[in-house]
Amino acid sequence: MKSLLYVMTFFGFFIGISLSSNGQILDSPRDGIYDEISTPEKKPVQYSSVREADVAWKKRVWRTIDFRQKINHPFYYPETPQGNWKSFMRIVMDAIREGSITAYDPTGDDMFLVPYTYSEIEKKFSKEEEIIERDPDNPEIILSSRTDIVPFDPTSVEKIQLKEDWFFDKQRSVMDVRILGICPLVKQYDDNGNYLGTVEEMFWIYFPEARPVFAKAEVFNTKNGAERRTYDELFWKRIFGSYIYKEENVYDRPIYKYASGMDALLEAERIKNDLFSFEHELWEF
């Protein structure tokens, strides 16, 4: 009986040490002067209710956000996740993998019709890389070769497209906008790895479905570290630079189909000015 008691005491002592060691590993020091709890608990800003009868005018436009533009850097960085602070594309890809956001096949249209699984996205946009082992004494001799699959890198996305509706709400007497969808773009390369000068649509996501995810995703604030914004707030407050590449038209043509170079830039600027001048022309001062 005493032997059994000694054995239990011995194992209990080492279990206590093990739990204590794990506790020291898990209970890491706080990285800051206070616990940041506001961002994980944030919810999307509620839209004002809109009835069909209240919409006196509406226009659909598509625009491109280029992450290389300085104002859009918060979408691209950090390249490596730092806690809750992740790049926009990493947030999107993680949410698709977890099932929080549904991706839709971009082939043919942007109507959110055919769901796109995470495995399908990874399979399509992963790359094959040939690994060749050469003889160190004679580099011309190949000892072995194999093909590795390189997973899709979220940092390879430098642009996204927005699909949005601008409308005039006569009930509130305001011009308003609703983002409907987001589509990441990736560069296209040939078999030799040469950039073709074109981009490819990865998938579309339905923005209202993604807002709860974006509302909890932290974005770096260059002006005030105590006021960390979220991706939902960037879209809500329109804190991004963009250019219009298409407006709804009877031919369903993007701008590049009928204008190029400087003419395309001027056409995009004309569409933007028409959107803002429409509301002004409704009032007399």
On whether residue 146 sits in a domain, the answer given is no
Once rounded to an integer, what is the mean pLDDT over residues 138-162?
A: 85
- What are the residues facing 146 on neighbouring strands? 131
Does residue 78 register a pLDDT over 80?
yes
Most confident listed range (39-48, 182-191, 207-216): 207-216
Cα–Cα distance between 117 and 96 in angstroms, integer? 8
Does residue 23 register a pLDDT over 50?
no
State the greatest distance between any 2 C-alpha atoms of the chain, in Å, as a whole number: 98
On whether residue 25 sits in a domain, the answer given is no
User: Is residue 246 a contact partner of residue 254, using CB atoms and an 8 Å limit?
Assistant: yes
User: Is residue 55 a contact partner of residue 168, using CB atoms and an 8 Å limit?
Assistant: yes
pLDDT digits (tens, 9 = 90+) for 225-263: 777 889 999 999 999 999 999 999 999 999 999 999 999
pLDDT of residue 143: 74
On whether residue 139 sits in a domain, the answer given is no
pLDDT digits (tens, 9 = 90+) for 258-278: 999 999 999 999 999 999 888
Please count the structural domains in the chain. 1
On whether residue 233 sits in a domain, the answer given is yes
Average pLDDT of the chain, as a whole number: 86
On whether residue 163 sits in a domain, the answer given is yes
Higher pLDDT, residue 10 or 168: 168
What crossing angle do the helices spanning 88-98 and 207-214 adopt, rounded to 10°? 110
Task: Give the angle subtended at the CA of 71 by the CAs of 168 and 188, to the nearest 5°.
Answer: 95
The tokens for 13 are: 């002592």
On whether residue 11 sits in a domain, the answer given is no
0.95 surpassed by pTM: no
Confidence category of residue 194, pLDDT binned at 50, 70, 90: confident
Task: Give the angle subtended at the CA of 101 by the CAs of 96 and 105, to the nearest 5°.
Answer: 75
On whether residue 144 sits in a domain, the answer given is no
What crossing angle do the helices spanning 88-98 and 118-125 adopt, rounded to 10°? 130
Quote the domain boundaries for residue 224.
51-125+154-280
Q: What distances in angstroms separate CA 160 from CA 64, 202, 205, 218, one per listed residue?
A: 6, 10, 11, 19
Tell me how far apart the terminal alpha carbons of the chain are, to the nearest angstrom. Answer: 98
Lowest mean pLDDT among 16-20, 73-77, 197-201: 16-20
Percentage of residues in the chain having pLDDT higher than 90:
59
Does residue 174 register a pLDDT over 80?
yes
On whether residue 147 sits in a domain, the answer given is no
Closest CA to 230 of 213, 250, 247: 213
Q: Where are the alpha helices (DSSP H) in 54-87?
A: 73-76
Cα–Cα distance between 95 and 203 in angstroms, integer? 14
The string of DSSP codes covering 175-202 is: EEEEEEEEEEEEEEE-TTS-EEEEEEE-
